[in-house]
Amino acid sequence: MKVVKFGGSSLASATQLEKVFNIVKEDETRQYVVVSAPGKRNAEDTKVTDALIKYYKEYTNGKDTSQSQEWIINRYRSITEELDLNEEIIEEIARDIISLATLPKSDNTFLYDTFLAAGENNNAKLIAAYFVKKGLEAKYIHPKDAGIFVTSEPCNARILPSSYDKIEELRNHNEILVIPGFFGITKEGQVCTFSRGGSDITGSIIAAGVKADLYENFTDVDGIFAAHPGIIKHPHSIPELTYKEMRELAYAGFSVLHDEALVPAYRGKIPMVIKNTNNPKHPGTKIVLNHTNENVKVVGIAGDSGFVSINTTKYLMNREVGFGRKLLQILEDLNISWDHMPTGIDDLSVILRSKELTPIKEQEILKHLIQDLQVDYAEIEHDLSIIMIVGENMKNQIGVTATATKALSENNINIQMISQGSSEVSIMFVVNQEQEKQAIKALYNVFFN
Amino acid sequence: MKVVKFGGSSLASATQLEKVFNIVKEDETRQYVVVSAPGKRNAEDTKVTDALIKYYKEYTNGKDTSQSQEWIINRYRSITEELDLNEEIIEEIARDIISLATLPKSDNTFLYDTFLAAGENNNAKLIAAYFVKKGLEAKYIHPKDAGIFVTSEPCNARILPSSYDKIEELRNHNEILVIPGFFGITKEGQVCTFSRGGSDITGSIIAAGVKADLYENFTDVDGIFAAHPGIIKHPHSIPELTYKEMRELAYAGFSVLHDEALVPAYRGKIPMVIKNTNNPKHPGTKIVLNHTNENVKVVGIAGDSGFVSINTTKYLMNREVGFGRKLLQILEDLNISWDHMPTGIDDLSVILRSKELTPIKEQEILKHLIQDLQVDYAEIEHDLSIIMIVGENMKNQIGVTATATKALSENNINIQMISQGSSEVSIMFVVNQEQEKQAIKALYNVFFN
């Protein structure tokens, strides 16, 4: 059986909801439907979630909230009317939206989360009602009843491991269950939302909990592209990705699903597919634990800017036990997270994101390197980009690196550094930021054209 | 002015000493001559140093030492007779050799060092006498009088920094000074030898001390080869190397000079040249601080076997602050020195020499990785080789990596790992041990043929 999740743009209008209905109806194994709040209908539109934030601010600042309330209720009403749903549902939604402005303002850690969650929660009720009207046996279920119990961290809830047993009981339902995404319930019964991409997280948790055969994540794109469409014109959609590959691509700038949304499904060994609500015939991108096709070597090319490199040189460095560990300790003491550490014999570099540093921290690092580690030379190099060639099947495949470095070399791109880990899920190149796009183009051309 | 050092094979016979004399005579700036003990005259011969070890063992075990004494004295005598030196010198050498067996055996930490040093010490006396006979103004000088004061670490002496001022005073001498290599004198006046390659160390110390223009190290090869002659037939001799390049080559299996011998000259900014006593017209290999010719990209290809890789995988590893540092701490706690640490996003490997590990240590590492660091996967991969392409001028040169990886790929060599540090003094490849020679051949062909 499948868990299906629809994003905001898939739920923005009656037309979109019709597509969603057809998708759910078409396959009777689609038993769990996780929904976001209504998204934008066009570029100028406002997301319901953003309207709820405005409503929350007005309420907590003691301002008039009637206009916001009306806008939000009308937003749902326009959908219920177009879908010809009965008045009952929009009245229930209206009561819920208005009741938010009666909640206690003080000593209410979860007030913001409760306002925001109303977007998803009411949409789930609306969609369940619509499904029922269209003749599907469907039922709205609140996260509390679904068993989504979370930690008490406002805007950053994490699922409690004990929840999964309760979620598994959802398998006893025969109806299609419509579940609002984005939030769970604390042990104290409070609404608490997940971090960014929250509905994706709910879908992933439900999929893991009910031990789904597949977690279908419907968006408005034909899956995950092999390179950024802003750099490569019409990049092809990746048919199959492993979770590991997805991680590497996400690290270097791909932003389809957040790690938090991948983890529950990954740990539960549930395959996932990213599909397009507006083009459901397209197979989309399947995210799996292991590749089914071993012939695909390179699945994608990612690039991300904003990296720096701390470069050190010390004669006889490699004979100094603990040198690398001490260097990493300096960074850890400054609460700096690092990414890579390419080494020569007497040279060692640490690659990290520039957001980890401040001018003061840079001075501190250089001071410690010179005074404590007594390096011969230390510098911090800015404006670097990381380019990743990702593909688990590159492992033991001769020639991928040769092809890549040749392509970069022929395009006059200077490789500052290379690091290729033992897993060979990816090959990483560091280049100057200004050559990043050029490098991605060169690699895309050689591996995909 | 120059410091000239001659190795054992250059001093093994009268014929060899004649070559040495001609080399010293030919250039009047060759003012400091550092000498080893007489080496082997042919493959079956015994080095004087090895004979001294045997003599030491007999003496300390209370056995008869007369045969050893006689062999050693005769070894020197065969040279003095061939060179037609007067009896005085061989008598002095004989007295010294015999007197070793009168030194106190107990409470004598430096007895072994004193026995061994006699090889170099007597040879220096012999050579000085020979030079004088041939009309050169030459003089033997004992390390004590030369100012070579060292730490009290038997067989592993290190120069005391304060020595250099005293050594500089050697510049006041007008004669050619013949200095025995391999040992210095402790503050307490004891003979204490350097580690392996000890005469090279003495030469380097003298060169740094007298601020020589050049340190000439005479061996029995035409300099340093660009690849191992056992793998590449007649590899070409490298005309110019930097100290950094020398370090990288030495790391990966080149064994011309030990690090200890490079450091004093490097720190003193003294260029060095490796020349052949048997072919002194050959320019040999110059070791410099900075290249004079920027067109030479790759200077040498080195390879060394006996490496292992500790491979770990953990989902979301790169978001775990301190992961790498903790892993290195595990190794440090087990007193294990590591060499490289290539990284993916959720993968991290540590490359080290297999001699750092034992089966018990391997079990310990795996236990800590799984229990303390909670990795998803850990393995220790054996039988790996490191291949290094060395050349400081590769930096900012586009295409060296492309050429190298293409050559390896075309020869069906699977690159297990790549690490290229920020300095770009070298590019390192990890391959399976059985492909090491093949890899070196492929790289040598593409860069040197």
Strand boundaries in A369-437, DSSP class E: 377-390, 417-420, 426-432
Distances (CA, A) of B49 to A59, B60, B186, B213: 93, 16, 21, 31
* pLDDT for A422: 59
Indicate the average pLDDT of chain B. 93
Beta-carbon contacts of B145 under 8 Å, excluding residues fewer than 6 positions away, are: none
**What tens digit of pLDDT does each residue of A279-328 get?**
999 999 999 999 998 788 899 999 999 999 999 999 888 778 789 999 99
A283 touches B: beta carbon within 8 Å: no
Beta bridge partners of B303: B387
Residues of A in contact with B290 (CB under 8 A): none
Residues of A in contact with B418 (CB under 8 A): 401, 418-420, 427
CATH topology of domain B2-220: Carbamate kinase (3.40.1160)
ipTM higher than threshold 0.90: no
A333 touches B: beta carbon within 8 Å: no
Structural contact between residues B203 and B5, judged by C-beta atoms closer than 8 angstroms: yes
A356 touches B: beta carbon within 8 Å: no
Q: Is A318–B335 a contact, with Cβ atoms under 8 angstroms apart? A: no
Of the residues A384, A409, A413, A422, the best mutation for testing chain B's interface (the one with the most B CB atoms within 10 Å of its CB) is A422
Distances (CA, A) of A389 to A246, A398, B345: 12, 15, 12
Structural contact between residues A397 and A297, judged by C-beta atoms closer than 8 angstroms: yes
* pLDDT for A396: 60
Residues of A in contact with B345 (CB under 8 A): 247-248, 251, 425-426
**What tens digit of pLDDT does each residue of B43-97 get?**
899 999 999 999 999 999 999 999 999 999 999 999 999 999 999 999 999 999 9
What element of type H or E holds A168? Answer: helix A163-168
Q: How far apart are CA B100 and CA B114, in angstroms?
A: 8
**Which residue from A minimizes the CA distance to B249?**
A345
Q: How far apart are CA A231 and CA A301, in angstroms?
A: 11
Distance from CA of B247 to the nearest CA of A (A): 8
Which of B321, B396, B402 is closest, CB to CB, to A405? B402
Q: How far apart are CA A208 and CA A406, in angstroms?
A: 43
Write out the two tokens for A113.
Answer: 């989360």
Q: Is B420–A417 a contact, with Cβ atoms under 8 angstroms apart? A: yes
Which residue, among A368, A381, A380, A379, has the nearest Cα to A323 in the 3D structure? Answer: A368
**Which residue from A minimizes the CA distance to B407?**
A402
Q: How far apart are CA B132 and CA B178, in angstroms?
A: 11
Distance from CA of A402 to the nearest CA of B (A): 4
3-state SS string for B5-70:
EECHHHHCCHHHHHHHHHHHHHCCCEEEEEECCCCCCCCCCCCHHHHHHHHHHHHHCCCCCHHHHH
B135 touches A: beta carbon within 8 Å: no
Structural contact between residues A217 and A272, judged by C-beta atoms closer than 8 angstroms: yes
Confidence of residue B252 (pLDDT cuts 50, 70, 90): confident
Distance from CA of A110 to the nearest CA of B (A): 27
**What tens digit of pLDDT does each residue of B280-315 get?**
999 999 999 999 987 888 999 999 999 999 999 998
Chain centroid offset of residue A225 CA:
15
Q: Which residues of chain A have pLDDT under 70?
A: 196, 396-398, 421-423
Q: How far apart are CA A254 and CA A256, in angstroms?
A: 6
Q: Is B6 assigned a ligand-binding role in the annotation?
A: yes
Distances (CA, A) of A128 to A49, A136, B88, B189: 20, 9, 114, 96
* pLDDT for A415: 86
Residues of B in contact with A308 (CB under 8 A): none
Strand boundaries in B7-161, DSSP class E: 30-35, 138-140, 149-150
Distance from CA of A271 to the nearest CA of B (A): 16
Beta bridge partners of A272: A215, A287
Chain centroid offset of residue A119 CA:
20
Q: Is A339–B343 a contact, with Cβ atoms under 8 angstroms apart? A: yes
Distance from CA of A378 to the nearest CA of B (A): 11
Residues of B in contact with A413 (CB under 8 A): 398
**Which residue from A minimizes the CA distance to B320?**
A337
Residues of B in contact with A345 (CB under 8 A): 247-248, 251, 425-426
Q: How far apart are CA B347 and CA A427, in angstroms?
A: 12
Q: Is A343–B347 a contact, with Cβ atoms under 8 angstroms apart? A: no
Question: How many CB pairs below 8 A link A and B?
Answer: 191
- Does the model's pTM come out above 0.90? no
Q: Is A402–B413 a contact, with Cβ atoms under 8 angstroms apart? A: no
**What tens digit of pLDDT does each residue of B127-148 get?**
999 999 999 999 999 999 999 9
A66-82 helix and A111-133 helix, angle to the nearest 10 degrees: 20
B356 touches A: beta carbon within 8 Å: no
Which of B251, B349, B418 is closest, CB to CB, to A418? B418
* pLDDT for B248: 86
A87-99 helix and A66-82 helix, angle to the nearest 10 degrees: 160
Beta-carbon contacts of B295 under 8 Å, excluding residues fewer than 6 positions away, are: B393
Would you say how long chain A is, in residues? 449
For residue B318, pLDDT beyond 80 = no
Write out the two tokens for A201.
Answer: 């997280």
Q: Is A418–B419 a contact, with Cβ atoms under 8 angstroms apart? A: yes
Q: Domain limits of chain A?
A: 2-220, 300-448
Q: What is the CA radius of gyration of chain B?
A: 25
Which residue, among A316, A312, A372, A385, has the nearest Cα to A343 in the 3D structure? Answer: A312
Q: List, as ranges, residues 232-271 from A with C-beta within 8 Å of B.
A: 243-244, 247-248, 251, 259, 263, 266-267
Q: Is B346–A425 a contact, with Cβ atoms under 8 angstroms apart? A: yes
Q: Is B425–A398 a contact, with Cβ atoms under 8 angstroms apart? A: no
B92 touches A: beta carbon within 8 Å: no
For residue B119, pLDDT beyond 70 = yes
Chain centroid offset of residue A221 CA:
15
Q: List, as ranges, residues 422-441 from B with C-beta within 8 Å of A.
A: 422-428
Residue showing tokens 């592209």:
A225
Which residue, among A291, A263, A234, has the nearest Cα to A444 in the 3D structure? Answer: A234
Q: How far apart are CA B133 and CA B21, in angstroms?
A: 11
Residues of A in contact with B318 (CB under 8 A): 251, 339
Q: Is B347–A402 a contact, with Cβ atoms under 8 angstroms apart? A: no
Beta pairing class for B426-432 and B377-390: antiparallel
Q: List, as ranges, residues 358-387 from B with C-beta within 8 Å of A.
A: 381
* pLDDT for A8: 93
Beta bridge partners of A276: A219
Beta bridge partners of B386: B304, B430
Q: List, as ranges, residues 388-417 from A with C-beta within 8 Å of B.
A: 396, 398-399, 401-402, 405-406, 408-410, 412-417
C-beta neighbour count of A63 within 10 angstroms: 10
Architecture of domain B300-448: 2-Layer Sandwich (3.30)
C-beta neighbour count of B292 within 10 angstroms: 9
For residue B227, pLDDT beyond 90 = yes
Give counts: helices (H), strands (E), chain B.
14, 16
Which of B408, B417, B422 is closest, CB to CB, to A347? B422
Which residue, among B253, B318, B325, B245, has the nearest Cα to B285 in the 3D structure? Answer: B245
Which of A263, A328, A414 is closest, CB to CB, to B396? A414
A315 touches B: beta carbon within 8 Å: yes
A342 touches B: beta carbon within 8 Å: yes
Q: How far apart are CA A363 and CA A330, in angstroms?
A: 12
B243-251 helix and B259-267 helix, angle to the nearest 10 degrees: 170
What do you get for the CA distance between the two ends of chain B, in Å?
37
Residues of A in contact with B380 (CB under 8 A): none
